[in-house]
Amino acid sequence: MARSSDSRSRLRRLNRRQRKKAHLGEFVEMVFDLRVQFQPTLDEAGYDLLWSALVDQIEAHRLHFCGIWGGADDNRLQGMIGGVHHSPSNDDRNAIEQWLQARPEVISASAGPLVDGWYGWG
């Protein structure tokens, strides 16, 4: 059974340790969905260069990526981006999305809204 992270009465009943363990209140970890479609003409070396640059861009914002990278056989990337000991901001989300959209290797890139990484995917 999924727990709601927005029940104020429940949060008041939990102490700090319980809120941390349940990822509630001040311990909510936000993430966002990332979907990218690449040019079908991109070769393996191009993928490697783009992937390296994307990882550098994500890490520059102190974020991490978890998802599927299609490689040369499948010209798309899909996953989620979260923070390392913090939640990403809308500025982080917009910066990564705009960086991808400006790349010539990318046909389309979209970043979803920030959602609760533990309870917001329902």
Q: Delineate the domains of the chain, giving CATH numbers in brackets.
A: 29-116 (3.30.70.60)
**pTM of the entire predicted model:** 0.80
Per-residue pLDDT tens for 35-62?
999 998 888 898 889 999 999 999 999 9
Buried b (16+ CB within 10 A) or exposed e, 66-96: eeebeeeeebebeebbbbeeebbeeebbebb
Half-sphere exposure in the Cβ direction for 75 (13 Å, CA): 13
Q: Tell me what pLDDT residue 11 has.
A: 81
Reported confidence tier of residue 32, pLDDT bands at 50, 70, 90? very high
What is the dihedral sign for C-alpha 58, 78, 69, 50?
Answer: negative
Does 4 have pLDDT greater than 70? no
Q: Tell me what pLDDT residue 3 has.
A: 53
